[in-house]
Amino acid sequence: MLEHNQSDDCSKLLRSLVQRYASRIKLLPDKPEDSVEATVRALWLCALGAPTSSVKALNAPLAALTTTQIDDLKELLERRASGVPLAHLTRRQDFMGLEYKCSEAALIPRKETEILAKAACSLLIEKILPVNQRPRVLDLCTGCGNLACAVANYVPECAVFAADLSPDAARLAGENAKHLGCDDRVQIFAGDLFGPFSSEQFAKSFDLIMCNPPYISTGKLPQMAEETITHEPKMAFDAGPFGLSILDRLLRDAPQYATPGGWLAFEVGLGQGPGIIQRLSKDARFKPATGVLDDNKNVRAVTAQFSHNN
């Protein structure tokens, strides 16, 4: 009977908090998993001392809170309502079904980047593993290591190398590799794009190069959601006057690091895909590129095979 009453009390408190915060928590289109209910549940678990992402929290049982924990939950909800990203409060974010550690050091992984992660895993399983059973994968602009660790988790045959210009992000990526139990397959470096891989041992050595680069033009940064621009690193978004500063360098230099006939996979901003695919079609170092679409038929990732004489 007591248990029944407790679960009734939990449901009542949950419902009343969801109702109270429905108009106060701003939902962001690029974080569709952070609904108001998922937010209340994730912060509830946080108040219980069990940090959990919004995705996992949605289906996790909620234990009763003490009075102090209810106060903690209300304070966390106030911070969320004031614009602090949910993942900065929980310190957790789901990506491809895995729980990552999160902090201000790196971009919070977005659902939309799972399009690139899935494309990379498919390329590895369908095209690369049949010709090389121990593929080498490079993840540039790794942030918290979400793409690197997802690939290492779902395609464990890979040796994954990853790097980020931000030493803090690289450190967080290393923590995630450990946290997710794939640090034996993921090596993280700090440095500028291909910089950490300039030694001879990496020349023409990667079967897959993947990258989710910054791709917002500097002029458009002020139009981004205030929460994003205030709390997430500008370095993760700003890609110069045309939004292509990193992508230009990626396309210029990648062939020096890829195995002949290896693959490139990268994320693009809304509207950038068709132009980039056309540009690759004129570059003899690549075979024709493919756009990977989101549910609204926008190209959000591009894959291309390097020519055998790249």
- List interacting residues with ligand SAM (CB under 6 A): 106-107, 109, 113, 140-143, 146-147, 164-166, 169, 192-193, 212-214, 233, 235-236, 246
In the sheet with 258-267, reading across from the earlier edge strand, the strands are 186-190, 159-164, 136-140, 206-211, 258-267, 299-305, 290-293
Residues 6+ positions from 88 with CB-CB distance below 8 Å: 102, 103, 104, 108, 231
Q: How many CB atoms lie within 10 A of CB 188?
A: 25
Q: Which residues of 234-271 are buried (b: 16+ CB within 10 A; e: fewer)?
A: eebbbbbeebbbbbeebbeebbebbbebbbbbbbbbee
Residue with tokens 């950038």: 272
Sign of CA dihedral 143, 148, 154, 156: negative
CB of residue 48 to ligand SAM, shortest distance in Å = 28
| CA separation for the pair 265, 273 (Å, rounded) | 12
CA distances 48 to 17, 54, 65, 174, Å, are 16, 15, 7, 27
Q: Which two tokens stand for residue 307?
A: 């020519």
* Of 49, 60, 51, nearest in space to 14 by CA: 60
